Amino acid sequence: MSDDASDRVESLVREHARFVYRLVYSLLRNHHDTEDVVQETFLRVCRNRSKLNRIEDPRAWIACIAWRSALTRRRKLSAHPVVDLDDLKNSLETIATGPEEEAGKEQMRSLLERLIRTLPEELRNPLILSTVEDIRSPEISAILGIPEATVRTRLFRARQLLREKLTALIGGGSRVGRS
């Protein structure tokens, strides 16, 4: 590998590795798999470094590679488990009554993760990407290959569906509630 190409790839790693990590983690929710996919992503960038001069937005290009790699990894891992309604109610109760803030956050993440799994994929992917720090609709649009307006519409519908599910859970759980 020539020095120029090597330097270019290394500067891309330093610039975007953390963003790519958060992006992949938002989908896989597992640090070990996320590290593997991030490494795989930058190895692909290295193999295709000859294209770098023609890429207008390297961050979006790398994000696209990372997202596809993460989707492939998730398919290999397993199918989504069935979400149990009772489990969700228990999680909600723990969040409402959790004594420690960090434990509450973890429970909240777990609850949302399971709720998101119930969404259709076309709504799920934009929503997952929207939770990643520093990412905006144009980038989500570039990663998913859909128009920006469609991204906004799907985000709105996804949040609406989640709100309805949560409302139903709060109403259904007799012990859940905050005064």
Maximum distance among all alpha carbons in the chain? Answer: 66
- Which residue from 51, 80, 105, 117 is in contact with another protein, where contact means CB under 8 A? 105
Asked if residue 119 binds another protein (CB under 8 A), the reply is no
C-beta closer to another protein: residue 54 or 178: 178
- Which residue from 60, 64, 71, 108 is in contact with another protein, where contact means CB under 8 A? 108
Candidate segments 70-78, 79-87, 138-146, 155-163, binder of another protein by CB under 8 A? 155-163
Candidate segments 1-9, 54-62, 76-84, 140-148, binder of another protein by CB under 8 A? 1-9
Residue 39 CB, shortest distance to another protein, in Å, is 5
Could you give the CA distance from residue 89 to residue 19 in angstroms, rounded to a whole number?
33
Asked if residue 120 binds another protein (CB under 8 A), the reply is no
Could you give the CA distance from residue 66 to residue 123 in angstroms, rounded to a whole number?
19
| Residues that bind another protein in the complex, under the rule CB under 8 A | 1, 6, 9-10, 13-14, 17-18, 21-22, 25-26, 31, 35, 38-39, 42-43, 46-47, 92, 95, 105, 108-109, 111-113, 130-133, 159, 162-164, 166-167, 169-171, 177-178
